[in-house]
Structure 1
Amino acid sequence: MLRVLVVDDQDLFRGGFAMILGVQPDMEVIGEAADGAAAIRLAADVKPDIVLMDIRMPGVDGVTATREICAQTSAKVIVLTMFDVDEYVYAALGAGASGFLLKDIRRDDLVNAIRLVAAGDALLAPSVTRRLIADLARRGHPVPALAARLGTLTDRERDTLRQLARGLSNVEIAGELYVSEHTVKTHVSNLLSKLGLRDRAQAVVFAYESGLVIAGEN
């Protein structure tokens, strides 16, 4: 059973999300919070598996709350916002978020997103992914310090990271590299550990910023 904490300063959104998730057979809403400070306290008390986090809230915002919760607990945070704005993507990913979705997401897609993140995948809304990659492309040259860290990876781990940057799932990567899904999971775990990355979302950003993948290439 996935234990979910819902955080949003608007009663309508918070109650709606809690209602949707509360009827899922594999999920339990174990708490609700109306601001970041309450979310931090509640996450420490109830130990959720997943936190559904609003970005813009009075007082302690969602980015700050995400950073604290990821630092203090093992919870995975999915950020939900009405604003498709790049700086929020970077701030949320930098704070440790494993997913970034827009509030106009469909009910079934939201439920599936939570299951994906709980299983170890990262998730970005398609429009967010396009804007993220486009902005990374505009940044130009790779960051030398990041490029140097690629030397810690094996050839197969670099291949896996390239496929991650394309947004492929473990099953799809296995098909591309002609290996088992278990082998892909091992490569992903190893490369995250070697590069000091929290999850697949950070791996995607790293792949572009290190120069391993160039935006626009297949």
Structure 2
Amino acid sequence: MAVVSAAPQRPIRLVIVDDDPLVRAGLRILVGGSPDIEVVAEAGDGEEAVTAAGAHWPDIILMDIRMPRVDGLMATRRIRSRPNAPQVIVLTTFDADDYVLEALRGGAAGFLLKDTPPREILEAVRAVAAGAATLSPTVIRRLIDHVADPQAGARRARARTRLATLTDREREVAVLVGHGRSNAEIAAGLGMGVPTVKGHVSRLLSKLDLNNRVQIALLVHDAELL
């Protein structure tokens, strides 16, 4: 009997966006040693990033924030507003609260600082390509502080109003997404199949008009359901 080998998995298509050519070169070298990730384009500002996203159909974009013409925050919003948009991981030296929250609310699936170890950057790319979210420990602390700030009461009320549209099961799934659980972990915890969990997550994104799991987690944090 002939043995039919499985087709090799397509590499993750990556676009690197940074206004510093040396940073782009360093990231390209970093990725060059990983056969499962392919750099398909580079961009020096947000305008070029939007163009590259449409021209090269990447899976992931590594996005800087401070850039000329169009910054990374605006570029992220524009890219993520399109159908079948690539995921965006913000990789920056700036960890101010406003940057973190604006990037995540704009649709970024991750936020990493440029002092993140190279191995963890590659792991983040793979994780986001697989449908997970990735946040540096510093960013997680920012989110905790965000929930505790003086404006938290108003955000809590708005978030709970939005979550009130969910079924009990959808709310359970949303809370577990907020805890950072994978689809497999949610399935095991709630006694359902992974495809069923994926269906619930898709309905959450549609009902709540959100882009990705990070935004579900933010909403659950705002509602103080964790």
After TM superposition, list the pairs within 5 Å mapping 1:168-179 onto structure 2: 168-179=181-192
Cα RMSD (Å) = 1.8
- Corresponding residue number in structure 1 for 2:58: 48
DSSP 3-state at the match of 1:72: coil
Q: Residue 118 of structure 1: which of 124, 129, 147 is its match?
A: 129
DSSP 3-state at the match of 1:32: strand
- Corresponding residue number in structure 2 for 1:76: 87
DSSP 3-state at the match of 1:97: coil
The CA deviation string for residues 66-121 of structure 1, in whole angstroms up to 9 with x for no partner, is: 11222235111110011221110111112211111111111221111111111211
State the 1:181 CA deviation: 3.1
Distance (Å, rounded) in 2 between the aligned partners of 1:41 and 1:184: 34
Q: Residue 133 of structure 1: which of 144, 148, 151 is its match?
A: 144
State the 1:145 CA deviation: 4.0
Which one is further off, 170-179 or 79-88?
170-179
Normalised by the length of structure 1, the TM-score is 0.89
- Corresponding residue number in structure 1 for 2:225: 213
Length, aligned pairs only: 213
- Gaps in structure 1 of 5+ consecutive residues: none
Q: Residue 39 of structure 1: which of 49, 55, 61 is its match?
A: 49
Q: Residue 147 of structure 1: which of 152, 160, 167 is its match?
A: 160
Q: Residue 184 of structure 1: which of 192, 197, 212 is its match?
A: 197
Distance (Å, rounded) in 2 between the aligned partners of 1:18 and 1:124: 21
Partners of 1:162 and 1:212 within 8 A in 2:
no
Distance (Å, rounded) in 2 between the aligned partners of 1:129 and 1:164: 14
- Corresponding residue number in structure 1 for 2:215: 202
Distance (Å, rounded) in 2 between the aligned partners of 1:90 and 1:196: 17
